[in-house]
Structure 1
Amino acid sequence: MAFPGRPRALAEHAFSPHDAVLRAAARHLGRRRFFTVTAAAAALAFSTNLPARGAAAARELDAARLDKDPFTLGVASGDPLPDSVLLWTRLAPEPFAEDGGLGQQRLTVEWELSASEFFAVSVRKGTALAYPEYSHSVHVDVKGLDPGTEYYYRFRAGSFISPVGRTRTAPAAGTDPSSLRLAAVACQAYQDGYYTVHRHLAEEDVDVVFHLGDYLYEYAVNAAGGERGYTGTTLPDVFNRETMTLADYRLRYALYKSDADLQAAHAAHPFVVTWDDHETENNYAGAVPENDVPQDQFLARRAAAYRAYWEHQPLRSAQLPQGPDAQLYRRLHWGTLAQFDILDTRQYRSDQAYDDRPHAPGAESDDPARTITGAAQEQWLLDGWKSSGALWNVMPQQVTFSQRKFGLTADATMSMDAWDGYRASRDRVMAGAKAAGVENWLVLTGDVHVAYAFDIKENFDDPDSKTVGTELTCTSVASGKDGAEKPDNWDTYMRANPHMKFYNGKRGMAVVEIGRDSARLDFKTVAAISTPGAALTTAASFVTEAGAPGLKPA
């Protein structure tokens, strides 16, 4: 259905990045911070190609002159609040060109929100500017909406109309919703196979999707698309290199978001996203790169990666990076049923102990000064639990929280990149949950390319100690290729970690239905992603009761 005439711009709903960025950058880099950041990173924080004003502003392209569909990367929505939701798109008529095919011209984009997928009546509509400085991405924070309501949205540029997206707002604060159904996904290396999981996710009946990191991988993608093995089609050479620059990261997001199955998942549900390492570089730790390169070079790379991430995700202006820094941790609510504390365990962490090699816990990994969250985020988390009035406290984050021994001996090694490498940090968080009286604690985790279900134990070395929460890892969408239902180390892991109640190595997702009496966890997998079209099956189901933590088969 065609849009009506050009709608009046609604300034309170259409986010213009330029207005806030300069003020925020000046506040963010005070004198003390300025001298602790490298010159290159500081320069990025103040002058990362901000949208210009006046005579210096980019020339505006008449949208009527567009002769190619600019909505090649789909639409998305995210971070639902009771009265607002964030809508996203990026205009790129030539998605595999560095400038997306729009050069350095800005473009006016119309947007529309309706209660009907047929757009019989508009609930909200307006215009937003797509700036070349932000890769012609559009972030519209639509406010004044009804809580707990499903909406449909679309964009228009010239004669081209985007795909229709479906989204929803969160329930009103203080209300008592009876249930919430969410999906958790992570780790989608494009070159490892097809996004069959995302196609199934688009068809799932869920209220919201949590993407727990590794949305992007920095590694080169060859002309055949890796395991996808294109026939008769080749990818351009721009993808056959590791991402290092802002242009590299933008192009890689264009490749990922060109996938029809990923677009379908975003169009079907609002997403809540957080990053892990590969959106920037494998296993980086704060300002410490994986390899021995100068820190200023790495922070310049991190600034580029963070910038491109924001440009391509349904995130509000509060998450807009300033140079190599961005506050991605944030809090959402679902009435009184659930509080979501979305963590960033990558940007603020101490360097991994023991050179990031699997190692038994020791003085280095157990140093109380070490942190995986940073002091400010840790305090924010604990304070949020103290003031929480939610029945369930859900902690979406990146790396395995529960203890995970790799062998059967007393000195078995563990991952120094996960919370096992930051045991003092984990102890403080667990003590904070206990002090706050958190009874129904659910941790959502990505990263490991397998599905786990854990009882979180007060003392992981004592199977009879109190169970204080539940953790699930959602396996991967594509990373790790087809995988195996029982990996080679299955028996060892299950025996070494009695609090591990499930382990599966296939590709898939986790679906969690949270109610007032219990939460149900369904681990859903596909047989293969090396070819498209595999069916989705439920590999295992568990329940954990409110007020009585501990996983039981459903």
Structure 2
Amino acid sequence: MAVRHKPELLAAARYFGRRRFLTVTAAAAALAFSTHLPARGAAGSTELDAATIAGDPFTLGVASGDPLPDSVLLWTRLAPAPFEPDGGLPQQHVTVEWEMALDERFSAPVRSGVGIAYPEYHHTLHIDVAGLEPDRVYYYRFKTGTWISETGRTRTAPVTTAAAASLTYAAVSCQAYHDGYYTAHRHLSQDDVDVVFHLGDYLYEYAVNATGGQRAYTDRKLPALFNREAMTLEDYRLRYALYKSDPDLRAAHAAHPFVVTWDDHETENNYANAISENNDPPEVFLLRRAAAYRAYWENQPLRGAQLPNGPDARLYRRLQWGTLAQFDILDTRQYRSDQVYADTKHSGGPLQDDPTRTMTGAAQESWLIDGWRDSQALWNVMPQQVCFSQRKLDLTAEPVMSMDAWDGYRASRRRILDGAKSAGVENLVVMTGDVHVGYAFDIKDDFDDPASKTLGTEFTATSVASGRDGAERPPTWDTYLKANPHLKFYDGRRGYVRVTLDRQQAQADFRTVSAVTKPGAPITTAASFVTEAGNPGLQPA
């Protein structure tokens, strides 16, 4: 079926085509011409008198992210009418005050300042608050005109040399708005965790109908502008407004600092580098990717270092929690080789082991392994997107595997595992999203030999909503467990995974809800597993 594109994308594509700008670098250089977006800080708008803002501009809540020992990033967006393309504000910049304190009443203030919400950045704010004390909880809020935002709670990391005793974090992924309610986020907002890792598919590019899909709204009707696939910057911005309007997601962001990374649906299903799902011309797809990346940065608690340059963004980065844990957050979409055989499931072949193919790109791969060599942490945690461990999907002699996961990039996975071994990584934990189920894997040196050495542990966070309600034992449950002896747990319900690290062990609690197509379901712990420091291998807790 022919793919139809927005007129502005086609016009920009023709601009690229005339000049043979078919590379990522060239697309980045020409993006400002195509979309009229200035560089950050170059805005020339006049100032809006905040006293004239008639409605609450903090409709999309507050968020914080990427905690360091002395700083944390604060985020909000001004949008009194979030479902309008302009958010209900004119093309003028707005002065916003922010403050941070040691208590919720703000009786013990520690930092305050002023930020400018530019219309070119859709009136979003990214405040990098420096000079904070390490390993401390803080509260923050924003004010403009007569309006005060809700209060957010965040924290800083311990100093990098501190022998932190413990850390509890959660991992979430895959929150298709149209597939159900964000009940898991509501429970997560009430859980006692230090930080949340969002592993991708924060939003989906797919259309959302007037009743919100499986949410089946009867008390409201969503605007028709959501009922189309996101393609342009306006589309992606509006989609974030829809997702962030959810009260449960807002509650989770307000309760905990988030560390975010993307997968495919923040841009387009199963894309790989500059190759789209439908093999669109690169000059067309890179414009779409640029729009998606920009909207992602605008709407997430990310620092300026992650601000995209056209269709490129340096999202992979490293955080530390004293000497207890090092987190190497990966981007497995932007630099990967195209999927072989098929984008999803296939029996595979020799191209899976082609050494020229990569999941991470050479620069990110070197950065990861070099970081392991320099690591002083007890636990080395790798938050990333797609299933890392081998996953046979049937019991045949040449089993079907996912070509979109690391099984389709086996040489790349081999280099990562060999790099971990050469760096002396003893306690490797891989955190994964994407597959809408909860898994617990032993990471084997040779996945086809159950007796081979266990090199680490992989915990897969199920979806928040994607896939609708799910089931405790999906139809493939028995087959997958038989085909993959290193798979120790498999649950198909929605929820999140909570991991507690200390000096002796890591414990993962798989938290699940019974349903997401109706709001308010209770949460339970489906299973808990531990792996001992210095002795990889999962055991029931």
The TM-score with structure 2 as length reference comes to 0.95
Q: What's the counterpart of residue 540 of structure 1?
A: 527
Q: What's the counterpart of residue 202 of structure 1?
A: 189
Q: What's the counterpart of residue 420 of structure 1?
A: 407
Among 38, 47, 51, the alignment partner of 1:50 is 38
Kept in 2, the 8 Å contact 1:155–1:161? The answer is: yes
Among 231, 237, 241, the alignment partner of 1:244 is 231
Structure 1: state its 5+ residue gaps. 1-32
* Gap change, CA 1:52 and 1:311, over 3 Å in 2: closer
Written as runs of structure 1 = structure 2, the 5 A alignment for 1:405-554 is 405-554=392-541
For residue 49 of structure 1, what is the amino acid of its counterpart? Answer: L
Work out the number of aligned pairs and report it.
Answer: 521
2:152 and 2:370 map into 1 onto residues whose CA distance is: 35
For residue 171 of structure 2, what is the amino acid of its counterpart? Answer: A
Deviates more, 1:380-389 or 1:352-361: 352-361
Q: What's the counterpart of residue 3 of structure 2?
A: none
Q: CA deviation at 1:65?
A: 1.1
For residue 502 of structure 2, what is the amino acid of its counterpart? Answer: G
User: Structure 1, residues 199-241: CA drift from partner, whole Å, max 9, x if none?
Assistant: 0000000000000000010000000000000113100001000
Kept in 2, the 8 Å contact 1:52–1:58? The answer is: no
Please state whether the residue corresponding to 2:478 is helix, strand or coil.
Answer: helix
Written as runs of structure 1 = structure 2, the 5 A alignment for 1:135-534 is 135-534=122-521
Q: CA deviation at 1:410?
A: 2.1
Q: CA deviation at 1:42?
A: 2.8
Kept in 2, the 8 Å contact 1:354–1:365? The answer is: no
1:358 and 1:161 map into 2 onto residues whose CA distance is: 50
2:55 and 2:434 map into 1 onto residues whose CA distance is: 38
For residue 91 of structure 2, what is the amino acid of its counterpart? Answer: Q
User: Structure 1, residues 70-110: CA drift from partner, whole Å, max 9, x if none?
Assistant: 00000000000000000000000000010101121100000
Q: What's the counterpart of residue 10 of structure 2?
A: none
Kept in 1, the 8 Å contact 2:32–2:38? The answer is: no
2:436 and 2:165 map into 1 onto residues whose CA distance is: 32
Structure 2: state its 5+ residue gaps. 1-19
Q: CA deviation at 1:186?
A: 0.2
* Gap change, CA 1:495 and 1:48, over 3 Å in 2: farther
Moved over 4 A (4+): 38-41, 45-48, 51-54
User: Structure 1, residues 138-161: CA drift from partner, whole Å, max 9, x if none?
Assistant: 000000000000000000010000
Kept in 2, the 8 Å contact 1:38–1:296? The answer is: no
* Gap change, CA 1:35 and 1:479, over 3 Å in 2: closer
* Gap change, CA 1:321 and 1:431, over 3 Å in 2: same
2:174 and 2:366 map into 1 onto residues whose CA distance is: 28
Q: What's the counterpart of residue 112 of structure 2?
A: 125
Please state whether the residue corresponding to 2:417 is helix, strand or coil.
Answer: helix
For residue 194 of structure 1, what is the amino acid of its counterpart? Answer: Y
Q: What's the counterpart of residue 24 of structure 1?
A: none
Q: CA deviation at 1:40?
A: 4.9
For residue 214 of structure 2, what is the amino acid of its counterpart? Answer: E
* Gap change, CA 1:443 and 1:45, over 3 Å in 2: farther
Q: What's the counterpart of residue 13 of structure 2?
A: none
Kept in 1, the 8 Å contact 2:24–2:274? The answer is: no
Tell me the percent identity: 70
For residue 298 of structure 2, what is the amino acid of its counterpart? Answer: E
User: Structure 1, residues 344-398: CA drift from partner, whole Å, max 9, x if none?
Assistant: 0000000001132422342222111000000000000000000000000000000
Task: Work out whether 1:85 is the aligned partner of 2:72.
Answer: yes
The TM-score with structure 1 as length reference comes to 0.92
The root-mean-square deviation of aligned C-alpha atoms, in Å, is 1.4
